[in-house]
Chains A and B, each alone.
Chain A
Amino acid sequence: MLQIELWKRIIIYGLVLAGLLFALPNAFYSRVESYNDANSAIENGQDPDLFRDEQQLWFDYLPSSLVNLGLDLRGGAHLLAEVRTTDVHAQRIKSLWPDVRDVLRQKRSEIGTIRLQDSTPGVLRVKISKPEAMQTAIEAVATLSKPVVSLTQAGAEDLKISSDGDFLLISLSDAEVLATNERTMRQSLEIIRRRVDEVGTREPTIQRQGLDRILIQVPGIGSATELKELIGTTAQLTFQAVIGKNSSSTTPSFGNEVLPSLDEEGVFYTLESAAVVTGEQLVDAQPSFDQNGRPAVNFRFNPTGARKFGDYTAENIGSPFAIVLDKEVISAPVIQSHIPGGSGIITGNFTVEESTNLAILLRAGALPAGLEFLEERTIGPELGADSIKAGKMACIVAFAAVLAFMFLSYGMFGLFANVALIVNVFLIFGLLSAIGATLTLPGIAGIVLTIGMAVDANVLIFERIREEIKLNKGPARAIELGYEKALSAIIDANITTFITAVILFAIGSGPVRGFSVTLGLGIITSVFTAIFVTRLLIVIWFERRRPRKVEV
C-alpha cells in the first residue's frame, strides 16, 4: 500500500534539512562573507580583537560556506597565459657556454681553436678549427652531461651533442626538455600563486591547463592589465661580468650583450651574456640600508650560488661586476675583495619603497620563463552587480510563474510539486556551497532552466496518476502505480540530460562549466525532490485524510 518506511522518511527529512542549512548562508551573503573573511584573517595570524564585530555576524555552529560568484558576476580579471618554456631551454644552453669553453680549451692541442657561432636559441654551435678531432670534442663535452632528474626518464642524459661539418652542436635532450618543461610549469604556477596571494584577494583561481598553459582568475581586481603587471614583473636578477662601459648602444660581439643602466641616462654596459649567478639561487632578500644610510637590498645565496659567487669574486678582484634586474643594470660595483659568505647588498638610487618592492620581487622569485597571454578578460564589478540583479529578478519571476502554473493545473498535487520545487532550489544552492562550486551567469540560467524542467518528473507522475484514476483504480493504488510507471521515463530522460551536462563539464571552461555544474546538480536534486519529496508529502497527506477519491 501507499507507505514509506520510517528510516526512509528520516533520510528524506535529513537530506532536505541539510540542504536548507547549507543554502542558508547564501541568503545573508555579505554578512557571512565578512564573517568568513574575519575568520581567515585570524587564521592567518592577525589579532582576533580587530575582528570581534565581524565574528558576531554569523553563528559558529551553522555552515558558513557560500556559493562562489564567478568573474562574470563579481567582476575581476581572467588571464590565460602560455609559458614560453623554450626560453628556459635557451637560457640553460646559453649558460652552458663557459663550461663548454673550459673543457674544450683543455683539449686545445687536439681540436684546435674554438669559436661560438650564432645559432637558433636553445642550440650552442661551436666552430672547431680541426674538424677531424670532432669525436674528441664530443666526448669532452659529454663529460658535462648529467643524468636527467625525473621519475619517468631514468637513465637519460640531459645533453644532446652532435656534429655538423666542423660545427659542434649542443642542445638539451628530449628527456631533459620534458623534465625541464615540467619543472618550469610547476615553478611558474608556484610563483604566480605567491605573487597573487601577496595582494590578498579573495579566492583566486590559478590552474594549470594542458601542457604549457596557466589559467589565472582573480575576482575583485580592477583589470587584466593590473593582474598582468602583478604577475608579469619578472624580476630576473642576474650577476654578470662587465666587459666595458659605453655611452651608446653598440652591437656586442657574440656571447656578450649590451644593457642600459637603470638610473644613469645614456650609459650602457657591455656584459658577458652567461650569468655568473642568477636570482634563482637567491634564498633571501630584505630591504635594508647601506653604510651611507641609503635604501638598499640585502640578499643571500644558497650554497651553490654562494660558492660560484665566492669563486668569481676571488678571481676577479678589481674588476667591475654588474647586478642586472630585468635587463637593466642596477649597479656595477668594482669587486673590492673576495666575498665568501654568499651574501651581499644591492645598492642603487632606490627609495625606501622601491627597495622594499625589489626585495619582495626577489623573494618571490623570478618567473623561470616569459608568459604570452592568449586570453584576457576584464569584467567590471558594476556589470557583475547588474547581472546578479537581473538574474535574481528573472529567477523570482520564473519561479512565481511556474508555481502558479503548477497549482492551476494540478491543484493540491501541484502544491506538493511546488514545495518540492522550492526544496529543490535550496538543495541546489546547498550543494553548490558545500562543494565550493562557482556560480556564473549561465549558471543562473541553468538554475532557471532547472526550475522549468524540474517539474517535468512531477508532471510525468501526475499525468500517470490521472490515467490510472481514469481506469477506475482506487486512489492509493492509482498514486502507487503513477509513481511506479513514470519511473522508467523519468530515469531515462534525466540520464540523457545528465550525460550532456557531464560532457559540458569535461570540455567547457569558465562560465560554460559553471552552467554544466548547476545543470548537473539540478538534475540530481530535481529527481530526488520530484520522486521522494513529493511522494513523502502525498503519503503524509493521504494518511491524514484517507480520501475516497483523489483529483489530480
Chain B
Amino acid sequence: MRLKLVPNETTINFFGKSNVFFGVSIFAVILSFITYIILGLNFGIDFKGGTSIRSESKVEIEIAKYRNALSSLNLGDVAISEVFDPTFEADQNVALIRIEAQDGQEAVTSEIIEIILSTLKANVSDDIKFQAVESVGPKVSGELIKKAVMAILLAIGAVLFYIWLRFEWQFALGAVSALIHDIVLTIGIFSVLQIKFDLAIIAALLTIVGYSLNDTVVIFDRVRENLRKYKKRPLIDVMNLSINDTLSRTIMTSLTTLLALIALFTLGGDVIRGFVFAMIWGVVVGTYSSVFVASNILLLLGVKRDWSKPNAEAGTSVPQP
C-alpha cells in the first residue's frame, strides 16, 4: 500500500565502478569547458548590455519581416526570436527583440524605442505592443558580471568554511568539488543549448549550490555517524553503508523537488523557464554529484578514523528540539 521507490534494505556498491563514474564526471567537466570556449554563453542584456524588447501581436510572427523592418534603423546587431509557451492564448504571438548596446550610450533612449515601435507598426503589423522593454548600459553590465562571479566564489568559500568547521577538511573538499562540478556542468549545458544566461541564472546557480550541498551534507552526516559506530570497518564499507542508509531519503527529496520544479517548468510561463531549467538540471546533477563526486573524493582523501572523543566542533552537541 505504500509507495516505495527504494526497497527497505539496499546494499548497492556505489564504489564498485567508481572509476567509471569519476571518469564520466571528469569527462563532462572537460566537455563543458570545451563547449564554453567554443560556443560561449548566450549572455542576456544583464551581462552584455543592450536592449531587450518583448513584443506581442495577434498576427503570426515572421522573423524575416521584423528583421527587414529593423535593418533600416542601423541598430547594429539585432537578434529576433519567437517565444512559444503553452500558457499563451491562441492568437498571442510573442517575439523577443534584442539589440546590442549602442555606441556611446548607456541605457537606450526612449526616442529609439519609439522609432522601433513605429517602424514595426508600419512594416509588420499595426497591433504590435511592447509588453516589456529592458535596457542595460555597458557600465552596469560589466559590474553585474563581477558581482555574479563574486557571489558564486563567496558562496563556495563560505560553504567550504562551514563544512570544515562542522566536519573535517576532507569533507569540505569533497563537498566543494561536487559544487564546482555542478556549477561547471550547468554552465556547460547552458553553453550547449545556448539558453539565455542572465542574472536570474546566477540565482539559480546559487540555489544549485545550496541544494547540492544539502544533499551532500546529509550523506556526510551519516558517514560521520557511522564512522563513530563502526570503528573497525574499512572506509569504503562505511561509505557504502551510509549512502545506502540515506538512499531512500535522497531519492524522495530529489523527486519532490523535481515534481515541484517540473510543474513550474511547464506551467510557470516562459519568463522564468530558463531559470527553472537551470534548477531542474542542478537538482539532477547535484544528486548525482553528492553520491559519485563528493563521496568519491572523500574516499580518495581518506578521513580521520578516531571520532571516539566527542569534539565540540563535530556536531555532536546540537541542541535538541
- Give residues in A with beta carbon < 8 Å to B: 72, 80, 82, 223-225, 228, 372-380, 382-383, 386-387, 389-391, 393-395, 397-399, 401-402, 405-406, 408-411, 441-442, 444-445, 448-449, 451-453, 455-456, 459-460, 463, 466-467, 470, 483-485, 487-489, 491-497, 499-501, 503-504, 507-508, 510-512, 515-516, 519, 531-532, 535, 551
Q: Which 9 A-B pairs have the closest CB atoms?
A: A452-B260, A452-B257, A390-B269, A225-B110, A497-B210, A398-B263, A398-B260, A408-B3, A489-B221
Name which residue of chain A comes closest to B94, CB basis: A383
Task: Decide yes or no: A223 and B133 within 8 Å by CB, A449-B257, A452-B257, A512-B199 being known contacts.
Answer: yes
Determine whether the beta carbon of A504 is less than 8 Å from that of B206. Answer: yes
Task: Decide yes or no: A410 and B134 within 8 Å by CB, A374-B139, A401-B260 being known contacts.
Answer: no
Determine whether the beta carbon of A456 is less than 8 Å from that of B260. Answer: no
Stretch at the interface among B32-40, B211-219, B295-303, B304-312: B211-219
Stretch at the interface among B20-28, B58-66, B72-80, B149-157: B149-157
Q: How far is the CA of A511 from the CA of B139 in the complex (A)?
A: 20
Most interface-central of A228, A398, A445 (chain B CB within 10 A) = A445
A452 CB, min distance to chain B CBs, angstroms: 3
A418 CB, min distance to chain B CBs, angstroms: 11
What residues of chain A lie closer than 8 Å to B207, measured between beta carbons? 449, 500, 515, 519
Most interface-central of B158, B260, B315 (chain A CB within 10 A) = B260
Interface residues in B126-142 (C-beta closer than 8 Å to A): 129-137, 139-140
State whether the Cβ of B122 lies closer than 8 Å to any Cβ in chain A. no
Determine whether the beta carbon of A492 is less than 8 Å from that of B217. Answer: yes
Q: How far is the CA of A535 from the CA of B321 in the complex (A)?
A: 10
Interface residues in B255-291 (C-beta closer than 8 Å to A): 255-261, 263-264, 266-269, 271-272, 275-276, 279
Determine whether the beta carbon of B321 is less than 8 Å from that of A508. Answer: no
B104-115 vs A, CB cutoff 8 Å, 1 = contact: the mask equals 001110100110
**21 residue pairs A–B, Cβ–Cβ below 8 Å:** A374-B136, A377-B135, A379-B131, A397-B267, A405-B255, A442-B203, A445-B268, A448-B268, A453-B253, A453-B256, A467-B245, A470-B8, A485-B225, A491-B318, A496-B210, A500-B155, A507-B154, A508-B151, A508-B203, A512-B199, A551-B2
State whether the Cβ of B196 lies closer than 8 Å to any Cβ in chain A. no
Determine whether the beta carbon of A494 is less than 8 Å from that of B214. Answer: yes
What residues of chain A lie closer than 8 Å to B145, measured between beta carbons? none
Stretch at the interface among B10-18, B159-167, B185-193, B231-239: B159-167
B129 CB, min distance to chain A CBs, angstroms: 7
Q: How far is the CA of A495 from the CA of B166 in the complex (A)?
A: 11
Determine whether the beta carbon of A390 is less than 8 Å from that of B268. Answer: yes
A13 CB, min distance to chain B CBs, angstroms: 16
What residues of chain A lie closer than 8 Å to B221, measured between beta carbons? 488-489, 492-493
What residues of chain A lie closer than 8 Å to B264, measured between beta carbons? 394, 398, 445, 448
Determine whether the beta carbon of A72 is less than 8 Å from that of B271. Answer: yes
B187 CB, min distance to chain A CBs, angstroms: 17
Name which residue of chain A comes closest to B199, CB basis: A512
Determine whether the beta carbon of A487 is less than 8 Å from that of B318. Answer: yes
Q: Select one of B4, B211, B222, B318 contacting A497, CB under 8 A.
A: B211
Q: List 7 additional contacts besides A398-B263, A455-B256; criterion CB under 8 Å.
A: A374-B137, A387-B272, A406-B256, A448-B261, A489-B221, A507-B150, A519-B210
Determine whether the beta carbon of B132 is less than 8 Å from that of A383. Answer: yes
Q: Select one of B4, B245, B267 contacting A394, CB under 8 A.
A: B267
Task: Decide yes or no: A80 and B140 within 8 Å by CB, A224-B133, A496-B210 being known contacts.
Answer: yes
Q: How far is the CA of A452 from the CA of B287 in the complex (A)?
A: 14
Q: How far is the CA of A390 from the CA of B108 in the complex (A)?
A: 30
State whether the Cβ of B67 lies closer than 8 Å to any Cβ in chain A. no
Q: Select one of A391, A494, A503 contacting B151, CB under 8 A.
A: A503
What residues of chain B lie closer than 8 Å to A507, measured between beta carbons? 147-148, 150-151, 154
Q: How far is the CA of A374 from the CA of B249 in the complex (A)?
A: 47
What residues of chain A lie closer than 8 Å to B245, measured between beta carbons? 467
Q: How far is the CA of A536 from the CA of B134 in the complex (A)?
A: 49
Majority-rule SS of B interface residues: helix
Determine whether the beta carbon of B132 is less than 8 Å from that of A374. Answer: no
Determine whether the beta carbon of A499 is less than 8 Å from that of B155. Answer: yes
Most interface-central of B87, B271, B315 (chain A CB within 10 A) = B271
Task: Decide yes or no: A390 and B132 within 8 Å by CB, A372-B106, A409-B3, A500-B209 being known contacts.
Answer: no
Q: How far is the CA of A532 from the CA of B246 in the complex (A)?
A: 22
What residues of chain A lie closer than 8 Å to B54, measured between beta carbons? 383
Determine whether the beta carbon of B135 is less than 8 Å from that of A376. Answer: yes
Task: Decide yes or no: A501 and B210 within 8 Å by CB, A374-B139, A459-B252, A531-B321 being known contacts.
Answer: yes
Determine whether the beta carbon of A492 is less than 8 Å from that of B315. Answer: yes
Determine whether the beta carbon of A445 is less than 8 Å from that of B276. Answer: yes
Determine whether the beta carbon of A377 is less than 8 Å from that of B276. Answer: no
State whether the Cβ of B69 lies closer than 8 Å to any Cβ in chain A. no
Determine whether the beta carbon of A386 is less than 8 Å from that of B132. Answer: no
What residues of chain A lie closer than 8 Å to B246, measured between beta carbons? 463
Q: How far is the CA of A470 from the CA of B225 in the complex (A)?
A: 18
B6 CB, min distance to chain A CBs, angstroms: 10
Task: Decide yes or no: A441 and B155 within 8 Å by CB, A374-B137, A402-B256, A459-B249 being known contacts.
Answer: no
Determine whether the beta carbon of A374 is less than 8 Å from that of B140. Answer: yes
B225 CB, min distance to chain A CBs, angstroms: 8
Q: Select one of A373, A397, A489, A499 contacting B218, CB under 8 A.
A: A489
What residues of chain B lie closer than 8 Å to A397, measured between beta carbons? 263, 267
What residues of chain A lie closer than 8 Å to B5, measured between beta carbons? 409
What residues of chain B lie closer than 8 Å to A408, measured between beta carbons? 2-3
Q: How far is the CA of A18 from the CA of B163 in the complex (A)?
A: 35
State whether the Cβ of B180 lies closer than 8 Å to any Cβ in chain A. no
Q: How far is the CA of A37 from the CA of B209 in the complex (A)?
A: 41
What residues of chain A lie closer than 8 Å to B269, measured between beta carbons? 386-387, 390-391
State whether the Cβ of B31 lies closer than 8 Å to any Cβ in chain A. no
Name which residue of chain B comes closest to A467, CB basis: B245
Determine whether the beta carbon of B206 is less than 8 Å from that of A401. Answer: no
Determine whether the beta carbon of A405 is less than 8 Å from that of B151. Answer: no
State whether the Cβ of B200 lies closer than 8 Å to any Cβ in chain A. yes
Q: How far is the CA of A484 from the CA of B316 in the complex (A)?
A: 11
Determine whether the beta carbon of A532 is less than 8 Å from that of B210. Answer: no
Q: How far is the CA of A494 from the CA of B213 in the complex (A)?
A: 9
State whether the Cβ of B42 lies closer than 8 Å to any Cβ in chain A. no
Q: How far is the CA of A508 from the CA of B56 in the complex (A)?
A: 30
Determine whether the beta carbon of B321 is less than 8 Å from that of A456. Answer: no
What residues of chain A lie closer than 8 Å to B225, measured between beta carbons? 485
What residues of chain A lie closer than 8 Å to B8, measured between beta carbons? 466, 470
B96 CB, min distance to chain A CBs, angstroms: 12
What residues of chain B lie closer than 8 Å to A382, measured between beta carbons? 56, 131
B210 CB, min distance to chain A CBs, angstroms: 4
What residues of chain B lie closer than 8 Å to A402, measured between beta carbons? 256, 259-260
State whether the Cβ of B173 lies closer than 8 Å to any Cβ in chain A. no
Determine whether the beta carbon of A511 is less than 8 Å from that of B200. Answer: yes
What residues of chain B lie closer than 8 Å to A467, measured between beta carbons? 245
What residues of chain B lie closer than 8 Å to A484, measured between beta carbons? 320
B312 CB, min distance to chain A CBs, angstroms: 14
Determine whether the beta carbon of A493 is less than 8 Å from that of B158. Answer: no
Task: Decide yes or no: A442 and B200 within 8 Å by CB, A394-B263, A409-B3 being known contacts.
Answer: yes
Determine whether the beta carbon of B158 is less than 8 Å from that of A503. Answer: yes
A194 CB, min distance to chain B CBs, angstroms: 22
What residues of chain B lie closer than 8 Å to A551, measured between beta carbons? 2
B153 CB, min distance to chain A CBs, angstroms: 10
Most interface-central of B110, B114, B225 (chain A CB within 10 A) = B110
Name which residue of chain A comes closest to B6, CB basis: A463
What residues of chain A lie closer than 8 Å to B102, measured between beta carbons? none
What residues of chain B lie closer than 8 Å to A500, measured between beta carbons? 155, 158-159, 206-207, 209-210, 213
